Each structure stands twice: as structure tokens, then as C-alpha cells.
Amino acid sequence: MEKEKVKKKILIVNVNWIGDVLFSTPAIRALRRHYPDAYIACMVVPRCKEVLELNPNINELIIYDEKGEYKGLTGKMRLISALKARSFDTVFLFHRSLTRTLMVALSGIRERVGIDNPKRGFLLTKRVEQQPANIHKVEQFLNIVKSTGVGDRGKDMEVHVGKSDRDFARAFLDSQGIKEGVSFAILNPGGNWDLKRWPVERFAELGDRINEKFGLPVILTGAGKDIPLAQEISGIMKKKPVIAAGTTTLRQLAAIMKLASLVVSNDSGPMHIAVSQGAPTIAIFGPTDPKLTGPYGGGIYVVIQKSSGKPGCKIPCYNLKCEEALCMKAVTVDDVMLEAEKLLKR
């Protein structure tokens, strides 16, 4: 009897933020298409696991909880043993951490592919040259896998939802009086740092104008920490919105966004989730660079970014100490309404 062919075993060490993990999904898809029979595992931090949990291109998620199970030296030794027991052939390091690179090297994975840098380059068996500063992160992750001969299989980001997520979305909307077939808009006012947030009063005015002009109910989304922000916006609005902040998982949010006629969001993970679901999306950018971390691939989306007009104030700047956020304030409600009308006409 012919000996059964041993499947290739691949580990992906992913990054730490929801948006960045979304950016990695085209590279993960490319690996699966190139190695259709391989066993592919992905190591990801707990807060990002939902992005990948139902991804059909992945066989296993390894949750790297640095503050829990794998805390400290003892925890890292435990992870090294767990990786060694899985006998991976190849690891693609999307994360640039020296610690993670050292752990996979100590676990005995012979082929280690990642971006070269002075601190960890000696631990890599395939050193991918530093990526140009002006290319999107989707392309940066793709370039890591393409360095080994893997072909490009498209740029679209993926968040997969299940039946329970779709059922939740429908039940939630029904409970708010938004019945099947009724169009609605989503406003996502949060962001992982304040300078990326469009002003509260602008979101409130936008919500009222969307409701008045287009007749669309408005839903405010966000994480649990965004509940006070959503309540503040709701308190200013004439027509009270539905507050969904803090009530959904990421996949449930994706399922709701898939049904939306319009999503308006700051630069954030939920903005990318909206694009991944094909929702018509307006992304408001200020101090960050949409060429690097903006919407990407297929989908219906537009980016609004404007200079503050102040001498010496240039965007993008990534200036965390800025106290004025003039670039965000430069984007007017009229700017967003103009783009909203175009998207809704489509």
C-alpha cells in the first residue's frame, strides 16, 4: 500500500489589532489556495480571534493570551512546548516581534519567513526585505507569503459570519422596529485613539440629516467602551437613534453591517468590517494615512480626508500629542452628506 502523503503544516503568527488582522486575510487566503491540502493554524491574540474564527482558510486558531495562559517566562515555555508538539513545517511571521520569532524558532519550526530587521533577522530562514513605506498593509502581508512563491488571490478582506450571527442581526433589527427590507444607516463614532474621532456634534447632525433627507433609521455602533460616546451623540440628536454599542460581538456587528444601506465610520476596525461585508461605506480620515490603512480591495467605499489649512499642519501626521485635531474638524457634515447621497443613489 502506498504510504499516505504527509500534509504540510503551516503556522501564521498574526498581529495584534482588529484592522491589521483583517488586512492579513488576503494573505491567508493566498496560502490556502497555494496549499489546498495543508494544515494551516493561526496564532492570534484574544481580542482579534473573532475576525478569524469562522475563516474557512484556517484549520486551527491558537489563542496567544499574554496576560493569561502564556504570561511570563513560564507561559512562554508552555507555548513553545505546545507549538513543538504540533510539528509545524513552516511559519509565516506577520508580527515583527523578536519574542514571537524566538518562540517559534525554539519550537523547532525549520522554515521561518518574515520581514527582516536587525533584531531578529538571524532567526529567520527566509528574510523578506523591508516593505516600502507607501504601500497598503494588505500588500505588505501578501508580500511576505509571495516571497515563497505563493500567488496573489485578490485583495478583499474577509470576516465570515455564521447562521447564529445572521439570526442575531435579524432579531436585533426587528426588536428596534427595523423590519426586513427596511433600509437603515450605521454611524460608527469610535476609534482606538481620540484624534481619529470625528466630533460628536458632527455625528449627531449627520444622523439627523440622514434621517430627514433619506428617511433612514440610524444605528450607533461601537464596543462597550463606546457606550458613553453613543449616548452623548444620541442626547444631541432630534430623532433618537438605535444604540447598538456594547451589545454585539464583532461577527454580529458584521452581520448587521451587511444589511446596512450606508455606514459612516472613523478609521477603525469596524470600518474595515463594513467594507468586508460589502456595505456602502464612508471612511473619515484625519491624522492617519488611508493609503496604508484605508479601505482596500473590492467593495463600495469612499474616503474623506481634508487638510486643516493651518500652516505647517500636514496630514498624515500620526501626532498623538496634537490637541486641536483640525484635520478631523475640517471634514464637514456637508462633505459626508454629499458622498452619502452618491452612495445611496447607487
The residues pairing with 218 across neighbouring beta strands, listed in sequence order, are 185
Instruction: Look at residues 105, 121, 146 and tell me which one is the last residue of a structural domain.
Output: 146
Q: Indicate the residue type of 2.
A: E
| pLDDT of 5 | 63
Residue that finishes a domain, picked among 146, 175, 202:
146
Are 107 and 194 part of one and the same domain? no
pLDDT for 249 equals 97
244 in the same domain as 183: yes
CATH of residue 46's domain is 3.40.50.2000
**Is 109 found in the same domain as 244?**
no
C-alpha count within 13 angstroms, C-beta hemisphere, residue 267: 22
Domain count, the chain: 2
Same domain, 184 and 224: yes
Q: Give a yes or no: residue 86 inside a domain.
A: yes
The beta strands (E) that lie in 201-254 are given as: 218-220, 242-243
Same domain, 119 and 172: no
DSSP H or E run through 304: strand 301-304
Domain finish residue from 112, 146, 180: 146
Burial per residue of 300-309, b for 16 or more beta-carbon CB atoms within 10 angstroms, e otherwise:
ebebbbbebe
In terms of residue numbers, what domain contains 25? 9-146
Answer yes or no: do 204 and 288 share one domain. Answer: yes
- Claim: this prediction has a pTM higher than 0.85: yes
Q: How far apart are CA 189 and CA 204, in angstroms?
A: 10
Closest CA to 11 of 97, 75, 78, 107: 107
| pLDDT, block means (10 residues), the chain with 346 residues | 69 96 98 98 97 98 95 96 97 96 97 95 96 93 97 95 98 98 97 91 98 98 96 97 97 98 97 97 96 94 92 86 90 98 94
Residue 96 and residue 183 in one domain: no
Q: Evaluate whether residue 156 is within a structural domain.
A: no
Q: Which residues lie below 8 Å from residue 67, measured CB to CB, with a gap of 6+?
A: none
Q: Which residues contact 264 (CB under 8 A, 6 or more apart)?
A: 185, 186, 187, 188, 203, 206, 281, 282, 284, 336, 340
Cell numbers of 327, please?
484635520
Residue at 291 is within a domain: yes
Task: Tell me, yes or no, whether 129 and 180 share the same domain.
Answer: no
Domain for residue 158, yes or no? no
